[in-house]
Chain A
Amino acid sequence: MPPTVAGLVQVGLLIAALAVVHRPLGDYMARVYTSTTHLKVERAVYRTARVDPDSEQRWGTYALGVLGFSFVGVAFLYLLQRLQPLLPFDFGRGSVAPGMAFNTAVSFVTNTNWQSYVPETVLGHTVQMVGLTVQNFVSAAVGMAVAVALVRGFVRHRTDRLGNFWVDLVRGVVRILLPLSFVFAIVLVALGVVMSLKSGVTVDGQEVAIAPAASQEAIKELGTNGGGIFNANSAHPFENPNAWSNLIEIFLLLVIPVSLTRTFGTLVGNRKQGYVLLGVMGLIWAAMLTVIWTAEEHGLRPLEGKELRFGVPASALFANSTTGTSTGAVNSMHDSFTGLGGGGAMLNMLFGEMTPGGVGTGLYSILVMAVIAMFLAGLMVGRTPEYLGKKLGRKEVTAAAVSILAMPTVLLVGTGIAAILPSTQGALNNPGSHGLSEILYAYASASNNNGSAFAGITVTNDWFQASLGVCMLLGRFIPIIAVLALAGSLAAQKKVPETAGTLPTTGPLFATLLAGSIVLVAALTFVPALALGPIAEALL
């Protein structure tokens, strides 16, 4: 099969699988978050943790739940890494240095999964399983919980209650992520992914690291996490052995963000509202895939940093999907991509991770952007904007603006400072504009909680460990607080009846407005920075 045809077949299979699965999965997730009954195991969790699952929270308490849970998550994961020598399966890899332990703890709690460490030599199996795998589940479930809380803000009227964070969190883990991960972990083992408690195997006289990869691989993709149990991530044959495992991993990282648009449509009582969001996400995803694929086909060294079993098309497909979903897993090294191809991967993150975005985060990010789009439309016609039967007044638009502006602010400030620090020069792996791209990519990845990298950059000095950690925290939690505040003020409103003057939000006009807002906000914010990095490199 010629490579282009093979690539198109894989894209076709992927889209077909998503088309089949998103309906039942989306509807199932809608039931999960609206069900009034608790499973036995969930009751046991609530009883053990002494929380009341039947009380509902105001937006402030819901937000404090997210913050408190994430805070103890960082502390617990930090301690686990520092105390690694006391844990089993540590293989003498020692206590993780403070800066690296902080960065890694923040990275996994914020669903970023940026890796400043080389797993094979730094982390043992206990930290991987008891620390990182746990955060892979719960950080994903937190994102979904916040998205559901925002949807409740649109659906509910004249209430100050948004639901119960602990219930949304536990249900996301127990009813959605855990069963799917278990099934796909076994599928991945059947396809060749390793699941071993040993530290290495000898291959033709040389020692190659091995690990309990399959259990982590499944949730790594499904929860749009992206932290590999090996340094080469999903490029490592033990994590991603062949074309089929590769296609399944791409499917897994897209399936929940895609299906959540169905969940959204179901919950607001009009499935078209969800499909219009999915249409915009899919359109930008497809456009960016075309850019990255074409650019990589025509590179000077198309196979550098790519695995032969995937080739250029399946590498481009993975790269586009992992950067469009805030996953950050990689099956090829983005640092070796062309100016245009690597710039495309970067732009996917700079859109704010909503094409289709991470689990939950993608949905709430695009809903915030929809609020901005309707506000802009309202300005054009001189009318108070509405969306899904709720007025978008000063409070709502302010919250949306804060949510949108947090990421570019921390990203550009971080990049700017890093670029002028003398120590940065020695940290780069490539000269010229590509070196700047390495810095820009790092802060784009951290601030958008993606986690992929132009991995040639060495980020182990204190500045990078601390500043990237702070970018991950602010890029995650400022939008979350703003989104929950938005949800709170929406829920308090009464429903505005639809009139002849209401702009319909299920048609192509709204889709164009929304897509235009996504592209315009990113373009206005980032063109100057991109011009010095990937654009300069592409035009050289």
Chain B
Amino acid sequence: MATATSTIATQPSTKQVIRKSNFDRRNKSDLKHFWIMLSPALVWLVLFQIVPMFGIVMAFQDFNPGAGFFKSEFIGLENFKYMFELRDVRQVLVNTLVIALGKITLNLFVPLIFALMLNEMKQVRLVKFIQTSVYLPHFLSWVILSSIMLQIFGYNGPVNAFVMDLGKEPFSIFQQADLFRGFVISSDVWKNFGFNSIIYLAALAGIDVTLYEAAEIDGATRWGKLWHITLPSIQTTIALLAILSLGSILDAGFDQVYNMYNPLVYSTGDIIDTYVFRAGLQQLDFSFGTAVGLLKSIVSFVLITTGYWVAKKTVGYRIF
């Protein structure tokens, strides 16, 4: 052993050089394989995500599908000016902000409260059962959920039957402009609170048990433990989720609204994404639809990027 070490020690240069160059060559050939492994993902990315981005030029054109991108007339910011003149668009923006803000706030706190309550429960099997059950709506589509809600809250449903029994006018929540936003927000919270609690539950499970034991010896109440141990321990998680969720302030949820709204509730329920869909693909105003969509993309991009940046500076969060 000793001799072997000394041999290496006495003649380090050649052996090390040989080893190193082997290693380098090995790594170089690895690089080629890395690129091959990545290439399908890159092709997919370029064709389906990067190429469509060039369609953005339509926002600055009076796009004519017959003429194409290259021959359509450029009109500068006309589409954007037009957008701000429409009263519709302002209303749509307000609707989007109200719905999105409501969702962001409630989707942050309802799952937290749920996770804290579940965390107080000691019946392990029951906890498992509750968790599995509350995850369910998250995995169902808005098409499915909306068709169920139409059944429950529509004119044929038990809710209307009950209202009519009371001798009142027929009632369907899908037609009430004043209730529509609340309906959208609360059904979204219902769909997702279980799933959103996963991160909180993981954070709660990570709290050091000895903290609680020490507090009990000092005579802490359950309330005291919640306030002085549990919440401080997960405050970083809460802050992080709050910061990151701000990026979705213009995202009121297309799938949901599209499957719940109708012309009677446009005044409170029409959001940017549904508006773009109607203007762009139903009325075939490609340029205008692209312009509205682009504005949303840009604002969201800035907000999300800022959110990530703040999260990195404050709690050292990194996406990758």
Whether both chains belong to one complex is answered with no
Q: Which of A's residues lie within 8 Å of B, judged by CB?
A: none
Interface residues of B (CB under 8 A from A): none
